[in-house]
Every structure is written in C-alpha cells, then in structure tokens.
C-alpha cells in the first residue's frame, strides 16, 4: 500500500542565506580553528595538497592566528563577529519581507566556515518541513572559492540524505538591477553625508590569484561589470572611479591593481579625500572594517593623502534588503509554497503511515 507523505498539500519552501564565516571568538585558538577549516578548502587554496599542508600547518597556522585575532578584536561587536551579526539581521528581515509578500518561506542563515554550519541549518530547514530549498549565496560575484565552495558543502549534506529536498540556487547577482541600485543608493547617501562627490571613488573587491582568471573563473569579469554598471547608474565621469583588489594572500600573482597600491598612488597625488566602497561584500566584515576603513586609511594618509571615507556595505539597509528580497522573490517564483506543517502534524502523519503498515 502506498503512503502519501504530504496529504496533497504542496511542499514547504526554505531559504538558506549563506556567507563565508568568522571565528567563534576574536582569540588565537578560535581563529586558528577557523583558518584551519577555511584554508584547507581546496576551492580556496589550489596548491597541491602535500605541499600546501606543510605550509599551512608548518607556517601559517603558527603565525597568522594571533595577528588575525588582534584584527578581529578591533572590529568585534557586542553581539559577535560583524559578518555574522549582519547576516543574521539580513535573514530576519528577509523572513519579514517574504512573509509580507504571501510566500510562506522559512529563512535561515549559515556560514561556510565555522558556525552556524550549512549542514546544521539544512537539517533545521528539513526538520521544519522544508521540501524545497533555495540556497542563496550572499556573494554578488561568482567565484569558485566562494559560491562553488558553498555548493560543495550543500552537496556533501545531500549525499547523506535519503529524502533529498528540491534545490534552487542563487550563485551570483553581480549585474542585477536591484543590487546595482542598492549600491548607488549607498553611495548617494554617503555623498549626502559628506557634502558631495569631491573625491575619487575606489571600488575595492576581494582579490584572487590571477591564475584563476585564466582557468575560466568569471570572478574578475563579474567585478568589472558590477563596477561599470554602478558607474553608469551614477553617471560617474570617466577617470573619477577605479576598480582595485584587496586582501592579497601568499606569494602567487593576484588580480590587480591592488587596493593598497591604488590608495598609495592617490595619497601621493595629494588627494584630500578618497571614497572607498566594497561592492563584493554583502555585509561588513574584517576585510572591509579593518583592512579598508582602518588599514587602508593609514596607507592613504602615510602616502600623503587626507581622509579615507569608507562607504558601508549594504548590510541590512533598506536598499540592500530590497535587493536581497527581490532576488529571493524572483528565484522563488513558480515554486509551490504552503504553511509549514507543525511538529504535531508531522507526528500524526507518521502515526498514520505506521498504522498503514509502514515498517518501524
């Protein structure tokens, strides 16, 4: 005898907002655990394993954790790591947005490295009855090191599932009009605060080894397209803005020009101010708050420049949430949704199945 699991109701939908992740605490031990997980990912460091393992465990994990912990401590919020605080806020507001628009979607958030893990949140969505899951990568530009790595984790979780949910994925939105408009809104608000666009605008994206561009990763092109579309949306004159890549790591050649170099040149040219936006980060984090707003400001000043005026990430701003909400809505379109079954309904369903002779 066949057993119907859903009693004819369309299945529930879950949304998992994914970002990179942060250590659990701004302390050497926690940062070492986080970096060990992060830098062991073959999507992030593509150096052959035995060699990389020796470098990672022999050098990097002995020296970097203490230095990075001090940097994390300088940006840590009372609620925790900025990236997690902002991602959690985004997930809550996304839940409100989708609720209001009549979708019955359960929203959760997860981190690729550290906590809450992708597997734990997929488990939670499944336990709540989600049979369809939209995996929402918060990374605006696709990169194998980020978007593909999240999918590797999702696939690892799927492999352990008997009854797999249906999946949809957002793996980039670098040229989505709602995202570009949100960035433009953020720059305009900044100019309003600062009294107008007197300064050159640097659009700083996280770097990658240059090799990955030649291997076919679209990341570099996505960054440039985002930058061009933002410049067009704001009608920025040619020469008033430029793209740069930050966060260099290791000895290989990285995408250029580096943000450090660009800020040094602008400082040497005696600019009184420079505006910096980091469009590749959906939320503020160590790489924006410490590396750009603090270290970058020092670099610019030391080279002879004035003030670096950092433009915050979209975070949970109204314009940013409109972008995330619109993206989610568009990707959920046509997917049947329904009220989530409560625990009692699921238990009753199971009892009925057992009564019908399902094996215990």
Ligand X SMILES: C=CC1=C(C)c2cc3[nH]c(cc4nc(cc5[nH]c(cc1n2)c(C)c5CCC(=O)O)C(CCC(=O)O)=C4C)c(C)c3C=C
Which residues form the interface with Fe ion (CB under 5 A)?
247, 287, 291
The entry of ligand X, Fe ion, none near residue 106 (CB within 5 to 8 angstroms by kind) is none
Distance CA 6, CA 139 (A): 34
Q: Which stretch binds ligand X (CB under 6 A): 121-129, 156-164, 235-243, 277-285?
A: 277-285
What is the torsion angle, in degrees rounded to the nearest 10, for the CA atoms of residue 86, residue 247, residue 231 and residue 140? -50
* 83 or 321: CB nearest ligand X: 83
x/- mask, ligand X, residues 110-149, rule CB under 6 A, reads -----------------------------x---x-xx---
Q: Does 52 bind ligand X (CB under 6 A)?
A: no
Q: DSSP letters of 101-144?
A: TT--EEEEEEESSSSSBHHHHHHHHHHTTEEEEEEEE--SS--I
Q: DSSP letters of 275-315?
A: EEE-TT-SS--IIIIIIIIIIIHHHHHHTT--EEEEEP--T
270: alpha, beta or left? (left if phi > 0; alpha if psi -120 to 50) = left
| Selected binder of ligand X within 176, 206, 222, 271 (CB under 6 A) | 206
The 3-state secondary structure of 142-177 reads CCHHHHHHHHHHHHHHHHCCCCCCEEEEECCCCCCH
Number of residues that bind ligand X (CB under 6 A): 24
Distance CA 326, CA 257 (A): 33
CB of 96 to Fe ion, least distance (A): 30
Q: Does 91 bind ligand X (CB under 6 A)?
A: no
* 280 or 325: CB nearest ligand X: 280
CB of 108 to ligand X, least distance (A): 19
Q: Please tell me whether 198 is known to bind a ligand.
A: no
Binding residues, by number, are 206, 287
Binding residues for Fe(2+), by number, are 206, 287
Q: What does the binding site for ligand X look like in residue numbers (CB under 6 A)?
A: 20, 22, 35, 44-45, 64, 68, 81, 83, 139, 143, 145-146, 206, 208, 219, 247, 249-250, 280-281, 285-287
């Amino acid at each position: 005898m066949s057993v119907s699991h859903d009693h004819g109701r369309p299945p529930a939908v879950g949304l998992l907002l994914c970002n990179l992740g942060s250590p659990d605490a701004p302390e050497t031990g926690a940062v070492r655990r986080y970096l060990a997980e992060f830098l062991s990912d073959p999507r992030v460091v593509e150096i052959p394993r035995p060699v990389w393992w020796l470098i990672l465990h022999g050098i990097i994990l002995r020296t970097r954790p203490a230095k990075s912990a001090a940097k994390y401590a300088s940006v840590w919020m009372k609620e925790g790591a900025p990236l997690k605080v902002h991602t959690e806020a985004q997930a809550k507001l996304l839940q409100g947005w989708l609720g209001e628009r009549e979708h019955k979607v359960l929203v959760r958030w997860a981190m690729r490295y550290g906590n809450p893990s992708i597997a734990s949140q997929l488990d939670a969505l499944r336990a709540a009855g989600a049979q369809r899951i939209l995996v929402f990568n918060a990374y605006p530009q696709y990169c194998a090191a980020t978007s593909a790595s999240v999918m590797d984790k999702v696939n690892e979780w799927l492999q352990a599932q008997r009854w797999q949910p249906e999946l949809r994925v957002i793996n980039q939105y670098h040229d989505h009009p709602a995202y570009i408009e949100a960035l433009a809104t953020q720059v305009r608000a900044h100019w309003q605060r600062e009294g107008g666009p007197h300064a050159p605008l640097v659009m700083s994206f996280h770097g990658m080894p240059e090799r990955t561009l030649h291997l076919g990763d679209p990341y570099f092109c996505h960054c440039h397209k985002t930058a061009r579309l933002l410049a067009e949306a704001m009608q920025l004159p040619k020469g008033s803005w430029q793209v740069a890549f930050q966060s260099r790591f290791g000895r290989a050649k990285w995408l250029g020009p580096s943000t450090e170099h660009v800020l040094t040149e602008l400082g040497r040219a005696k600019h009184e101010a420079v505006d910096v936006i980091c469009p590749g980060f959906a939320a503020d984090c160590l790489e924006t708050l410490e590396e750009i707003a603090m270290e970058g400001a020092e670099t610019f000043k030391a080279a002879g420049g004035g003030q670096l005026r950092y433009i915050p990430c979209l975070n949970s701003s109204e314009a940013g949430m409109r972008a995330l909400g619109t993206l989610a809505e568009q990707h959920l379109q046509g997917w049947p949704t329904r009220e989530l079954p409560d625990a009692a309904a699921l238990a009753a369903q199971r009892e009925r199945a057992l009564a019908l002779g399902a094996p215990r």
